[in-house]
Structure 1
């Protein structure tokens, strides 16, 4: 029986949408939790407001490497107080707790959302077979009929003095009529070879563990860890004409020419100035004509 022909008021079961089966929490734990590994706990909840908020609230009582996954988020958050909504079990909505600690100076923690972007893109490229790119600072892009569409986003937030919660939201099986805005996309619409969320989540977590380990071993230095080069190689923003919408209703327009050692986007303006952008909304502008 499908949701469309179920009796009105009938309770939804885990089999209500066979195209969107639930995650197998037990299998995910067996695959991801291992002695000496980064991931120390993994919980899957049916629904919550925000996995970032939930994990941040419990950060003091959790070890590094805690993972919280929600089948549905009712108050998912993105940068600049934007909301993130999607049908239940249509994507991956999860957060991880990291404690870079004494190994990484606090001034380098700003690389964590960029690291999560590289890890997500590389993991999903292998597991889903889609060519993903990164829009600075925290968007995951796919191409659908030749057009770049946002299919995922990343939000990193401090949790106390020594922890960072990194949240990742990814549209997996959303149909065209379910997209929140026309510029959004999903792995399914990008013709992914797999939309099975269990192996996709495992791939992202394994990739994140590898990149985080290398970055931490290098003291958070994006050069020796390979992070800066990897982000630049996969960044669709570099080489483009962009408009940076900055706090205080200021804008900067120019060519995005580099990513500096602090993870800032360097924009070359028409007057020859090179301006590093540390926070703001970036709009990819189409070439004139």
Structure 2
């Protein structure tokens, strides 16, 4: 593995500074660790699922990262942010836990937009977009009595390093900063704020304001979409909104249908 100093335009994260900023009395985060390399930050935290919530793990290089449906997620060392956290909202009905990846999306999009100056939008259910290109993805997995939520954000990737033509990075979007430390701090603070607000309302996305903000940030709403479902089923129609359970509302030829993130293989713009 490379030394942290072999690529000076991609400096290492400063673990001590992150801990000083994020580990505060009464706060959600109780442990922040930065590791040089791991297979998957989500898998590492899932192995610690019996511990109290509030763990944060970020890796400079993730060699077995994955997204939804076990899709591969790779990036050069220190070119992005690969971070996972543990959450266990015991007072929230489990039926509402499906909002956690959407909540994380709101927190990440808001924080990244504010710090980088790049307009980041949401693609339901788990992607962050700059224009029509993916800049980040979110993966939430049940683990023990809680949930591990992971975020992979492309920060300094160059054009030739992009994993697919439909991806982008903050650098390619001409961000005001590609310093990962303030971006990561902002994301985790925003996530704590939204998680606390949502949890205090018993996971009510409408009462907490989460539904309204998600709807405002969601680039999927108002577009004709093609929703690919298991067993080669396809739903085409107009995405009209998000319901109280975090499902996408699609109005097709047979009327309105609500589809959940766990039932969706792909959501893409529909052909005109």
Q: What is the CA–CA distance in structure 2 between the aligned matches of 1:59 and 1:27, rounded to whole Å?
A: 26
* Cα displacement string for residues 153-178 of structure 1 (whole angstroms, at most 9, x for unaligned residues): 00000111x21000000000000000
Correspondence list, 1:1-289, <5 A: 12-60=2-50, 62-101=51-90, 103-143=91-131, 148-160=132-144, 162-271=145-254, 273-278=255-260, 279-280=263-264, 281-285=266-270, 288=272
* Cα displacement string for residues 177-208 of structure 1 (whole angstroms, at most 9, x for unaligned residues): 00000000001111110100000000000000
Task: Indicate if the aligned counterparts of 1:116 and 1:208 stay in contact, CA closer than 8 A.
Answer: yes
Q: What is the CA–CA distance in structure 1 between the aligned matches of 2:134 and 2:73, rounded to whole Å?
A: 12
* Cα displacement string for residues 212-259 of structure 1 (whole angstroms, at most 9, x for unaligned residues): 000000100000101111110000000000000001110000000111
Aligned to 2:38, the other structure's residue is in SS state coil
Count how many residue pairs are aligned between Structure 1 and Structure 2: 269
* Cα displacement string for residues 101-126 of structure 1 (whole angstroms, at most 9, x for unaligned residues): 1x200000000000000000001111
List, as ranges, runs of 4+ consecutive aligned residues in structure 1 with deviation greater than 2 Å.
Answer: none
* Cα displacement string for residues 24-83 of structure 1 (whole angstroms, at most 9, x for unaligned residues): 0011000100110010000101011100000001121x3211000000111101001101
Task: Indicate if the aligned counterparts of 1:120 and 1:207 stay in contact, CA closer than 8 A.
Answer: yes
Task: Indicate if the aligned counterparts of 1:40 and 1:63 stay in contact, CA closer than 8 A.
Answer: no
Higher radius of gyration, 1 or 2: 1
* Unmatched runs of 5 consecutive residues or more in structure 1: 1-10
TM-score (norm 2): 0.97
Cα RMSD after superposing both structures = 0.9
* Unmatched runs of 5 consecutive residues or more in structure 2: none
Aligned to 1:8: none
Aligned to 1:77, the other structure's residue is in SS state coil
